[in-house]
Amino acid sequence: MAIVVVGGHTRNIGKTSVVAGLIAALPEMHWTAFKITQFGHGVCSANGEPCDCETAEHTIAISEERDRSSGTDSSRHLAAGAVRSLWVRTRQGQLAEAMPRIRREMAAAENVILESNSVLRFLRPEVYISVLDPETADFKESARRYLDRADAIVTPAGEMGQAAWEGISLKLVAHARRFVMHPPQYCGEDLVEFVRGKMSVVGINRAFSPHSHTDIVT
């Protein structure tokens, strides 16, 4: 099993479009897709949208998407061709409590793609892609924490040297391959080939190492 993680520094910058693009372009991977939403700080567990309705009734939940046409992020994963699409909701800072169930779902998967930053605390993926928009100042702490682990970044066209982020050094992603998005095309063929190449290396390595496995950090 190979693991790909797609994160980003804020909402509504194309993360789901990148995930859906990779799923559609690499159907041979038979992806199981995970959308991870952490609620609190104004984000609702019911739909992942901004709100102020957090109550004690909000709990950790994992649901499987069945509708390809609803337009939700998990539905878009399914519509793109994912074998399964799961939506994970946890309170801020409590993703660890959902990891046993996530691991069980992953164990049944052929390959996994997750839309999240925070899951990097628990997984070592083959590829971590960070979607960044230098024109948007908001920067999640989870994205900041793992930015230096990005294998690739996906950004709008333009100069990266004028980012609006306070306290974020672009040196953290100097090692990463940069791919340019051209909305509505967020996932270009060059990114697809980059991921396909990484997956090919994984397959070759594991063919010669029958006892190898993907590390899961606990």
At 26, list the tokens.
């690499």
Nearest Cα residue to 4 out of 20, 13, 14:
20
pLDDT at 50: 64
Residues 6+ apart with CB under 8 A from 99: 122, 218
**Alpha carbons within 13 A on the beta-carbon side of 122:** 18
pLDDT at 162: 66
Q: pLDDT digit string (tens) for 161-213?
A: 767 888 899 899 999 999 999 989 999 999 999 999 998 876 655 544 444 44
pLDDT at 202: 67
What whole-number distance in Å separates Cα of residue 51 and Cα of residue 44? 6
What whole-number distance in Å separates Cα of residue 128 and Cα of residue 32? 16
Instruction: Identify the structural domains of the chain with CATH numbers, from first to last.
Output: 3-207 (3.40.50)
Nearest Cα residue to 86 out of 70, 107, 106, 62:
62
pTM for this entry: 0.87
Q: What is the mean pLDDT of each run of 10 residues along the chain (218 residues)?
A: 95 95 97 91 59 59 92 95 95 90 96 97 97 92 95 91 83 95 94 94 56 45
pLDDT at 211: 45
Residues 6+ apart with CB under 8 A from 212: 205, 206
pLDDT at 46: 54
